[in-house]
Amino acid sequence: MNSLTVSLGVHSPLTPELRDRILETTRARMEEPAYRLLSPEHLRGLARLEARDDPIISVYLCLTPERRAAGGWQSMLSSLAHQTLLKSHEAASETIRRQLDRIETALNEQLPELGRSVVFFVCERLGIWRQITLPIALADRIHVAPRPYIRPLLRSWGEGDRNLVAVLSQERSRFFVDHLGQIEEIYRVKGQRIRGMLTDRVPRDRRDVLATQVLKDEARALAQMAEIITRELEPSYLLVAAPPDMHAAFVESLPKALVERVQEFAVDIHASSHAIGEALGPLREQMRRDQETAVLQELEEAAFEKVAIGVQETLDCLREGRVAALVVDDRFAAPGEQCAECKALFQQAPGDACPICESGKLQSADDLVDAAAQQALDRGARVEFIRYPETQVRLGKFAPMSALLRY
């Protein structure tokens, strides 16, 4: 989808019609069937999916250039499908086979041109068909369960991994989405040519005042655009490259909540997407490290009653809806159990029945972290994976899984 070009007028820089157009265009981007810029709302929607009768089939397939060449992806998909069908119950195997054949047909008809991974979530009975293309390579996998397997998506998502980028100047501005290291231009803005406005008809003592006012008006309109886009795309940060006067006027016009997410960097207004990505590299890395440090600092400074420590205590607080942020060591993986009735999670249930609702419908959970992350998203909690060695060491005292609590 090409970027939208916007022109800002002198007297009405951002008209209601233009606001609506920006909003509609942004939403259309989010609704593209194979949109590769995954939003938090997409993750929340995936986490809410559940099929009690037919399974949801989750397929992760790497699409590196090597895999694309000579149909290498087909061999991998065929191998994964064979292994999956061997482990499937006879009653479900035909349904699984049909859906995997459907996925292969879709890829044969139109292999995504961009991206290094493609992900499918499919359920025949519920009519679920989700296809997502991502700019990073994820491990090949087919997972069959009542709920989609989203841990790889959650692990690749973090603060600093999805940002709105604003490269601003008075005569030309550009907005980009930065997601998992990929830069995509979404809006181009034509501003005012101030030199053409400062004619001999404008008294000399008024020219500076006029120039300053035009800049402030344009900065205000750009700030309003950033606010509209941010509301829809839910980026972690707003990364701004602009001359000092434009930067100051732009930030001054932002709402306070957005000002707190502004990070400054430097790049030429005419830079290519690749050059902008290169310029952002060190900033991205620092933001990720800072975010993990901030999460650990929250845990360390929180009152005793506002922290859950250890796997089972955290799972209990999740069930009670008390978790504001689930914090997990990225290296941690373990099987567990889940009650089919009340959805309580256990490392190991004490007996054959659920100790919460006394139901005998305990089921094995292949990935306890994935189940906990889905439950956290269901309840509107953040999910924070700790990935850097120095922060993983600090997390050690809280065990591989912990939580910041609402109450």
Give pLDDT tens digits for 206-218.
666 677 788 888 8
Q: Is the pLDDT of residue 387 over 70?
A: yes
Task: With beta carbons less than 8 A apart as the criterion, state whether 321 and 335 touch.
Answer: no
Residue 203 — pLDDT band, cuts 50, 70, 90? low
Closest CA to 133 of 159, 171, 106: 106
Residues 118 and 177 in one domain: no
Domain presence at residue 376:
yes
Q: Residue 374 is part of which domain span?
A: 302-405
At 389, the pLDDT band (50, 70, 90 cuts) reads: very high
Contact 100, 129 (CB under 8 A): no
* 153 domain residue, yes or no: no
The alpha-carbon radius of gyration of the chain (Å, integer) is: 25
Q: What's the confidence (pLDDT) of residue 32?
A: 59
Query: Is the domain of 275 the same as that of 170?
Result: yes
Backbone angles phi, psi at 50, to 5 degrees: -155, 135
Indicate if 221 and 178 belong to the same structural domain. yes
Contact between 271 and 176 under an 8 Å Cβ cutoff? The reply is no
Tokens at 78, concatenated: 């065929």
> For residues 65-78, b (16+ Cβ closer than 10 Å) or e, as one string?
eebeeeeebeeebe
DSSP 156: T
Q: Is a pLDDT exceeding 80 seen at residue 377?
A: yes
Q: Domain for residue 38, yes or no?
A: no
Rounded mean pLDDT of the chain?
Answer: 86
Percent residues over pLDDT 70 in the chain:
89
Question: How does DSSP assign 353-368, residue by residue?
Answer: S-TTT--S-EEEES-H
**According to the model, what pLDDT value does residue 166 have?**
97
List, for residues 155-198, the tens digit of each pLDDT value.
766 555 789 999 999 889 999 988 877 788 889 998 766 555 55
One domain for residues 16 and 60: no
- Select from 225, 253, 287 the last residue of a domain: 287
Section 41-55 average pLDDT: 82
Question: With pLDDT > 90 as the criterion, what percentage of the chain qualifies?
Answer: 51
Supply the CATH number for residue 383's domain.
3.30.1330.30
Could you give the dihedral angle defined by the CA atoms of residues 97, 138, 384 and 291, in that order, rounded to the nearest 10 degrees?
-160
Exposed (0-12), middle (13-18) or buried (19+): which is 61, by Cβ within 10 Å? buried
Task: State whether residue 297 is helix, strand or coil.
Answer: helix
Task: Work out the average pLDDT over 329-353.
Answer: 92
**CATH number for 226:** 3.30.420.60
Task: Name every residue whose Cβ is closer than 8 Å to that of residue 310 and which is 6 or more positions away in sequence.
Answer: 398, 399, 401, 402
Mean pLDDT for the stretch of residues 240-266? 96
- Cβ-contact 330, 386 below 8 angstroms: yes
Q: At residue 315, what is the residue type? A: L
In a domain, 100, yes or no: yes
Please state, in angstroms and rounded to a whole number, the distance separating the CA atoms of residues 20 and 10: 19
The half-sphere exposure of 97 on its side-chain side, counting CA atoms within 13 A, is 11
133 and 203: one domain? no
Same domain, 19 and 85: no
351: pLDDT strictly greater than 90: no
Rounded to two decimals, the pTM is: 0.76
Structure confidence by residue, pLDDT tens digits, 62-79: 998 888 887 889 999 999
Q: How far apart are CA 366 and CA 389, in angstroms?
A: 26
Give the H or E element holding residue 153: helix 151-155
